[in-house]
Chains A and B, each alone.
Chain A
C-alpha cells in the first residue's frame, strides 16, 4: 500500500537530487572533473523516478479515496466514478503543479536516454535541474499536494458534476507536455550560450525537442478549444480569454522557433535569434502558469487566485527568464556568422515567418496585459476583448498566410523549387476566380472573402507544390516519393492549417442559428433542414433526473437524418442542475441543440445551430500536430549527431 507520505518523501528527495544536479556537474565542469560532470545523468534519472513515484502515490490516494490527504478531501468524493477520481488528481492547483513536475521528470529522463554524453548535455541537464528545483520548491513550500488532515473527514467535497468531464481532464496533460517540452529547448539554448558553440549539431538536437514540444502544444491547445466548444455551449471555440492567450503566445513563439532552428541547422544563420526564441517560448509558458494561479487577471479559467503564490512565481520568473535574457545580452553577439542569403531564398521565407509570428505574439501580449498596465497607471478599467484581437491579430496572420504559400516554394540561398511556378499559377488563378465569383454572387463580407481567398491561396499552392513535385503523370514517381520525412511533415502541417482555416471560416460564415419557443409538434427551420419537436420527456439517469427534449432532424427532401436529445439534468445528491446540449458531429458539420426553460403549456425555448465544417478546426490542428511528429521520424532513426561528427 502506497502511503501518501511516500509521495511526500519522494518529492523531497527529488528536491535534493535536483539541487545536487545543479551543484555537482557545475563543479565538475569548472574543475574539468569528468566524474562530477557525469553525475548529472544519474541524478536526473533518480530525480525522475522519485517524481514518478510521488505522482503515482497521489493518484493512488485519489483512487482509494484517502481523505486524510487534504487535496483528496477537497476535490474528490467516494461516489465519483473511478476515471474522474484519477483525473481529478490534476484538476486543481497543487495536483496540476505535480503534473508539471512529473512531465519535467519525464522529459529529463528522455533527454538522458536519447542524447549522447557531451558538454552540451551536461549543461542542459544543469539548467533543467534548475527548473525542476524551482518548481519543486514552489510545490513543497507553498502548495504541497500531500498536505494531510487529521482527523480525516468522512467524505470529500468534490462532487461537482460539471467538473466530471473527460475533455477537461485530458487538456492539462497534453498542454503541459507542450509547455514542459519547451523547457528542454530552453535548456539547450542556454547551454549553447554557455558553450558558445551553436552550430548545426546543436540545431539538430534542438529541432527534435522543439518539434516534439510543438506537436504536443498544438494538440493541447486544440483539445482545450474543443472542450470549450462543447462544454461552454454556444458554439464558440476561441474567446481571447487571458488564459487562452497565455497558451497561444508560447505556441506562436514555438512555431517561430521550429522554423528558425531549421535555418541554423542548414546554414548556421539566425543563430542568436533562435536562442532568443527558445528562451522566449519557454518564458511565455511560465508566464502562462503565472497568470492562471496568481489572481492578476480575471478569467473563466483561473484556479483559485492567490496573490501570495503569484509573488513566488514572479521570483521564479525573474530567475528563469531574467538571468537567461541577461546572459543572452552578454553572449549573443559572439554567436553565428554573417548572413549571406539572397532576398529571394528560403532563408528570407523563414525570416518572414518569424517576423509575422513574433509580431503576432507581441500583439497578443500587449492586448492581454494592457488593461492591467492602464489600470496601474491611471486607475481606469477597460476591456480588451475579442473585437480588438480580431481587428489586430487576424490581419497580421493573414499576411503570414500570404507568405506561407510562397516560403516552401523557395530554395536555400536563392531560387525556387521546380514545382513553384505551376503551383503559383494554380493558386493565383484559383484565388482570382474565387474572389470574382464570391464578390459578384454571394453576400459574404469583404473580410470573409479575404479569408476564403487566403485559404484557397495557401491550399492550392500546397497541393500544387505536391502535385508538381511528384508528377504522377510521369514515370518514376516511386523515386520522387522518397522525400525526407521533414518534407512530408511540413506539407501535412501546412495543409492542416488550411483545413483549420476552412473549418473556422465555414463555421462562422455559414452558420445557421434558430432560437424559438415552441410547443410539441412544432416544425423548426434550420437553414435548408427542418426539425420536429416531439415534446419533452422525463427520464432518469444513474444519479440524476432529466427533462429530455425529443427532436427529429430532416434534410431538405424530408428524409429523417437523426434524432437530437438535449437535456436539462438535476442531480439530487449535489442539488445541482446542468444543461446538456445535444451535438451531432459529422465531417460536414455539427448540429447542435440546447433546451431552455419552459413547460408543456407555454412551450419550451430551444436553441438550434448548424455549424458547417466546424470539426475541421480540430482535425486541422491534429493534422498540424501529426505533421510535427512525422518530421521527427528521421530524428528518431538517426544516431547521435555528435558521434557521427556530422
Chain B
C-alpha cells in the first residue's frame, strides 16, 4: 500500500544517519579518522614562495621557491614544542634520505639554536619565522608540521604532528623511496 511506505520513511532516514554514525565511529576507533587533523589546502599546488633569514648564518637567507634537483622536505618546528623533540630521531633518519629545510616557527633564535644543539640538527638550512607570517602562508596551524615537496616545487604531502616511529617506516620512508624511484626514471 502506498500509504504504508510513507510511514516507513522515518525509519529509512534514521537508518541512513545510523550508518553514517557507525562508519564514523569505526573509523575513529581504528585511528583512521583523527578529529583534529586537517587536510592541507596546499597539496597539489605550487609551494608558497618563502624567504626567511637564516638561523645559522646571520647574513644569509633561506629561500624556498621554484624547482630544485630533487624532492625535499620542509619542517616547521619550535623549541617550545614538546612533540618536536620527540620527532628529532625520526628527522635524523630522514635527513639521510632527503634534504630537509627547517623553519623555526615563532621562536627566539637563541632558544632554537639550543634546541638544535640538544636534540640534533637534521636540517640542511634553517630559516627563522619569528612572527609566524610564513606559517600563515603555508597554512600552518600548529607545530610540528612537515611538508614534502617535489623537485618541480609542488607540495605533495603535509603531515601535521610529530613523525613517530610508525609514520616514519610505514609512510615517510616508503613515500620518499617511491619519489626517488620516479626521479631515477627521468
Query: Is chain B in direct contact with chain A in the complex (CB below 8 A)?
Result: yes
Interface residues, chain A, with chain B CB atoms under 8 Å away: 272, 276, 279-280, 283, 290, 294-296, 298, 305, 307-308, 310-311, 314, 317-318, 321-322, 325-326, 328-330, 332-333, 369, 372-373, 375-376, 379-381
A-B residue pairs in contact (CB < 8 Å), sample of 13: A283-B14, A290-B21, A308-B29, A314-B18, A314-B21, A322-B15, A326-B8, A328-B7, A329-B7, A330-B4, A372-B21, A376-B23, A381-B38
Contact indicator B25/A311 (Cβ below 8 Å): yes
Cβ contact of A305, chosen from B17, B20, B35, cutoff 8 A: B35
A296 with B18, Cβ < 8 A, contacts A272-B7, A333-B7 known: no
Which residues of chain A are within 8 angstroms of B14 by Cβ–Cβ distance? 283, 321-322, 325
Q: A298-B36, A372-B20, A380-B39 are in contact. Are A276 and B28 (CB under 8 A)?
A: no
- List 19 other contacts, CB 8 Å, given A280-B10, A318-B18, A373-B20: A290-B21, A295-B35, A307-B28, A310-B25, A311-B22, A311-B25, A314-B18, A314-B22, A328-B7, A329-B4, A329-B8, A329-B11, A330-B4, A333-B7, A369-B17, A372-B21, A375-B33, A376-B24, A380-B39
Q: In whole angstroms, how far apart are the Cα atoms of A369 and B11 in the complex? A: 17
Nearest first, the 6 closest Cβ-Cβ pairs linking A and B are: A329-B8, A325-B11, A332-B7, A307-B29, A307-B28, A329-B7
- Determine whether B56 belongs to the interface, using a CB cutoff of 8 Å to chain A: no
> In the complex, A212→B22 CA distance in Å?
33
The answer to whether B39 touches A307, judged by C-beta atoms less than 8 angstroms apart, is: no
Residue of A nearest to B3 (CB): A333
CB-defined contacts of B4 to chain A, threshold 8 Å? 329-330, 332-333
Residues of A contacting B27 with CB < 8 Å? Answer: 376
Given A295-B28, A329-B4: A381 and B20 interface contact (C-beta under 8 Å)? no
A298 to B38, CA, bound (A): 13
Q: From residue A272, how far is it (CB to closest CB) to chain B in Å?
A: 7
**With contact pairs A322-B14, A328-B10, A329-B11 given, residues A296 and B3 touching in the complex (Cβ less than 8 Å):** no
Q: Say whether B1 faces chain A, with CB atoms less than 8 Å apart.
A: yes
Residues of A within 8 A of B7 (CB): 272, 328-330, 332-333
In the docked arrangement, what's the CA distance between A307 and B33, Å?
A: 11
Chain B nearest CB, measured from A155 CB (Å): 27
How long is the Cα–Cα vector from A81 to B32 in the complex, in angstroms?
43
A276: contacting residue among B10, B29, B35, CB under 8 A: B10
Question: In the complex the two chains form, what is the Cα distance from A318 to B18 in whole Å?
Answer: 8
Contact of B25 among A294, A318, A380 (CB under 8 A): A294
Q: Smallest Cβ distance from A644 to chain B, in angstroms? A: 33
Measured CA separation A633–B4 after assembly (Å)? 38
In the complex, what distance in Å separates the CA atom of A183 from the CA atom of B8? 22
In whole angstroms, how far apart are the Cα atoms of A272 and B23 in the complex?
32
User: Which residue of the partner chain A has the closest CB to B1?
Assistant: A333
Bound-state CA distance A373–B23 (Å) is 10
The answer to whether A372 and B24 touch (CB under 8 A), given A298-B35, A333-B3, A381-B39, is yes
Decide: A322 and B11 in contact? CB cutoff 8 A.
yes
Closest-by-CB residue of A relative to B5 is A329
Best-surrounded residue of B15, B35, B36 (most CB of chain A within 10 A): B35
Complex: A458 Cα to B50 Cα, angstroms: 59
Task: Determine the distance from Cα of A537 to Cα of B8 in the docked complex, in whole angstroms.
Answer: 67
Q: How far is the CA of A321 from the CA of B8 in the complex (A)?
A: 13
Q: Is the CB of A326 within 8 A of B28?
A: no
Cβ contact within 8 Å between A326 and B17: no
CA distance A294 to B22 in the complex (A): 11
